[in-house]
Chains A and B, each alone.
Chain A
Amino acid sequence: MLKINQLHKSYPIGDSSLHVLKGIDLEVKEAEMVAIMGSSGSGKSTLLNIIGMLDEADSGDYILDGLLIKDLTEKKAAVYRNKFLGFIFQSFNLINYKNALENVALPLYYQGMKRKERQEKAMFHLEKVGLADWAQHLPKELSGGQNQRVAIARALAANPKLLLADEPTGALDTKTSYEIMAFIQQLNDEGKTILMVTHEEDIANMCKRIVRLRDGVIMEDKKVEQVRAEQYV
């Protein structure tokens, strides 16, 4: 599904530059559920952003679904993001003046889908996250957990190959976090490949594999026994 070879990335800071990723090798297979862990500054978010084509690596190869992602034009990157990737952010990143249904339908709009079809599909995904009754509500009228579920529905709407989550539970309380995790696990059970950045051990342990980063290199990469989130809900 995803293969990364000797990935380097540095950010300029004043005159010097900060070497954030120092040669990352990573392979993720289909239907895996991987947690990327590390303290802040370890480069975990940068890695996720590069995988998500939100940022570009300085050197190294990144192959997604057999496609070399390199020197993309903005237009092409937009098409790939839309086609391959679904994003879940810590701060939800919903568009505040659009209601839940419209937010979920937005990636489909960028796919060029017809309005009616778009709304049906968006509704289907909202039902899936249990928010069908809240379709017409604006983000500010929903709770954090509900907003994150809308975001998940949006990430799923375009039927991406890979789901990327950046601290998806970072802004939620424990109970809601577990609810969201239960939901993400369910998606993984259905065969979605999921890559998630987190710094919480309990959340990481709900994945199937943990990759630990420190100072821009992979310290540890191990399979774990998945802790099911349902039991806490």
Chain B
Amino acid sequence: MHISDGILAPEWCLVWFAIAIPFIAVGVWQIKRGTKENASYLPMLAMMGAAVFVIAVWHIPVPVTGSCSHPIGTPMSAIIVGPFPTVVLGAIALFFHAFFGHGGLTTLGANIVSMGIVGTFSGYLIYVLLRKVNSPLWLAAGMAGFTGDILCYLAAALELALSLNPGSVLSHWALYSVGYMPTQLPLALAEFVFSAGIVQYIADRMPDLLAKKLWGGVSSA
């Protein structure tokens, strides 16, 4: 889902930055609040940042398709440290990805929207909904990882279609999505497994570290 410099039209780069910035601002505010309330929050945040950085640039070969791609890690992070702080972590990770030949600076806003916002919040929404119907924690976390991964790539495909094919957005959105999916589906299953495993592990060891207050106080864990 990393979109390189030069691919998107300048006006679309600005649009994606404009969407991303308010999410980052709220995330920074929540991080400041979280560090005051819980001494373990900052090291957990740093660990999630490093994890998202490496997971989202970790190209895994998929033999069936003869290509490779990467999971995103942000749905798992959203469950552990909260969705808005995860947008900040995603933005930092994506900035450094540009120095590894993945993504770009002008397209940073678009990449934050797909991985940091759509991937994070779609996965988190699934997690909250499944927990509200008493789904097991591991299943809710796994489904969050799977859904966030797939929707992140659908968002990236939409970003490409909106900028490059304004006259035929829907057909090109479908085309680019089909291009991503054969490789991404097996990796979304991998995202299911590690999201479920890590969240369950943390819940068993230190349940107080899971983000409990979300979006105005809805209990998630």
Whether A and B are associated in the same complex: the answer reads no
- The residues of A with any CB-CB pair to B shorter than 8 Å are none
- The residues of B with any CB-CB pair to A shorter than 8 Å are none
